Amino acid sequence: MFRSLRTRNYRLWFFGQTVSQSGTWMQSVAQYWLVLELTHSAFDLGVTAALQFAPVLLFGTIGGLVADRFDKRRVLLVTQTAFTAQAAVLWLLVASGSVRLWMVWALALAYGFINVADNPSRQSFVVEMAGPDDLANAVALNSVIVNVSRIVGPALAGILIATVGLSWAFLVNAVSFAAVIGALYAMRPSELHRRPPVGRAKAQIRAGLRYAWQAWELRVPLLMMAVIGTLAYNFSVILPLYAHDVFRRGAGTYSALTVAMGIGALAGGLTIAARRRPSHRLLVVVTLAFGVLILAVAAAPTLPLCLVLLVLMGGTSVMFIATANSLLQLNSSGAMRGRVMALWAVVFLGSTPIGAPLIGFLAEQYGARFALGVGGVATLAIAVWAGFALRRIRNTRVAAAEDAAAAVLASADYPAIDVNVLEGSVGRGR
C-alpha cells in the first residue's frame, strides 16, 4: 500500500505536499465562506469557482506543453512560490479589513493562471519520482495526500474561523508552501526517472489532442471526467450551501461536511493504493457507486445521516479520480504524458467554470438538494454509457482478433480435412 514511500524523492514530496495541501484546503474553505459572508449568493460562489478554474479550461493544454518541454521540478519551484505570494496577498487584504468581492475574484483568477503550469507538471512529475513500476501506487498515494489534507485543512479552517478569524487561514496557507518548496530543493535530481524534454515543433498541442482522442484507453476516462467534473464535482459550491441553507448552520458545520467527505476519500485512496493495477471495469463500477451515493446525499433528511453518506460518497469519489488518473498515466507515452495530464486538468478543473455557475444557479433557483441531484443523475448516466462503450470496444477487438486469426489460417498451406473422417475418429475415441 505504501511501497512508493521507499523512494526518497517521492517520500519528501509526499510529506511536503501533505502539509501544503492541508493549507490549500484551509484557504479553499475560508475563501468560499468569505464570499458567502460578503454576498450571501450561491451564484457568486459559482462565479468564484469559475474564475479560479477558467484559466485551466482556456490554457490548460499550454500548461501540458510546458510540462513536456521543461524540467518539471524547476517549474514546480516557480509555481509553488507564486502560490505563496497569492495566499499572502489574500491574507493581507482580509486582515486589514479592506477585502472586497472583486479582489477575491481577481486573486482566484491569479490562482487559476498559476495552476495552468502547476497542475500538469505536478501530475506528470509523479512518474519521475516513483518510477514506472510504482506509478499506480504513487498516483493513489497522491489522492491520499489530497484527502488527508481534506480532513486536516477544513477542520483547522473551521477552528481558526470560529476562534481567531478568517485571515489566519490564508496566512497559514501561505506558510505551508514552505514544506513543498523545501521538499523540492532537498530532492536528488540524479535519482529522478527523467526523460529527455520534448523539442520545439509545430502543432504539438494539436498532436496531443489527437493522440488522446484516438486511444480509447484515454478517451473514455477523459469523457467521463468531463461530464462528472462539470455537473457533479462542484462540492465547493454545494457544501457551503448545505451548511448555510439546508441545515441552517455556520462555518463549523461546513467544515464538518468537508471533513466527513475527506475521511471517506482517505479510505478510498488507501483502497486504490493497495491494488497493483487499475482497470476500466473498476472505473465503471466505482462511478456507478459514486452516482448512487450523490443521490443519497441529495435526499438525506438530517445532518447526521448526511455526514455518514458523505463519508461513503467521498470514498467513491476519490476511487473514481485515482483510477481514472492512473489509467491515463499508465496508458500514455512519456513524450505525451504532460499533454495528456493537461487534458485531465482541463476536464477536471477546467470544467468548473462551466459547471460551478450552472450548479450555483440551479441551487439558487431550486435548492442545493436539486443541484446536487443533477450531478448524481449525470454521473450514473456517464457510467452506463462507459460500460456499454467499453463492452463494444472489447467485442470489436475480439472480432478483429478472430478475423486476423482466420486470415492467418486461411493463408497457411494446410492439407484439407475430411469432416466425416474426423467425426468418426472422435466417436471411436469416446
Residue 48, domain member (yes or no): yes
Q: How far is CA 73 from CA 64, 285, 338, 399, in A?
A: 14, 35, 13, 45
Q: How far is CA 8 from CA 2, 34, 78, 145, 195, in A?
A: 13, 39, 22, 16, 19
pLDDT for residue 159 is more than 50: yes
Residue 428, domain member (yes or no): no
Report the CATH number that the domain containing residue 38 is assigned in CATH: 1.20.1250.20
Domain interval for residue 132: 3-193+203-403
Contact 241, 41 (CB under 8 A): no
Only one residue has cell 472480432, namely 399
Burial of 395 (0-12, 13-18, 19+ CB in 10 A): exposed
* C-alpha cell of residue 347: 476536464
DSSP 307-328: HHHHHHHHHHHHHHHHHHHHHH
Residue 417, domain member (yes or no): no
Burial of 407 (0-12, 13-18, 19+ CB in 10 A): exposed
The whole-number pLDDT of residue 288 equals 95
Which has the closest alpha carbon to 147: 308, 268, 283, 305? 268
Cβ count within 10 A of residue 240:
23
Give the residue-averaged pLDDT of 280-295. 93
Residue 411, domain member (yes or no): no
Residue 95, domain member (yes or no): yes
pLDDT tens profile 207-218: 777 887 887 788
Strongest mean pLDDT among 44-58, 236-250, 260-274, 362-376: 362-376
3-state SS class at 250: coil
CA 236-238-239 angle, 5° bins? 75
* C-alpha cell of residue 287: 462511478
Name the residue with higher pLDDT: 204 or 171.
Answer: 171
Q: Against a cut of 0.85, is the pTM above it?
A: no
pLDDT tens profile 8-28: 888 898 899 889 988 988 898
Mean pLDDT of the chain: 82
Residue 333, domain member (yes or no): yes
Backbone CA torsion sign across 273, 223, 31, 55: positive
Name the residue with higher pLDDT: 116 or 145.
Answer: 116
pLDDT for residue 377 is more than 90: yes
Residue 198, domain member (yes or no): no
pLDDT for residue 430 is more than 50: no
Cβ count within 10 A of residue 185:
11
The whole-number pLDDT of residue 129 equals 85
Only one residue has cell 477542520, namely 155
Please report which confidence band the pLDDT of residue 179 belongs to, taking 50, 70 and 90 as the band edges: very high
The count of domains in the chain is 1
Residue 97, domain member (yes or no): yes
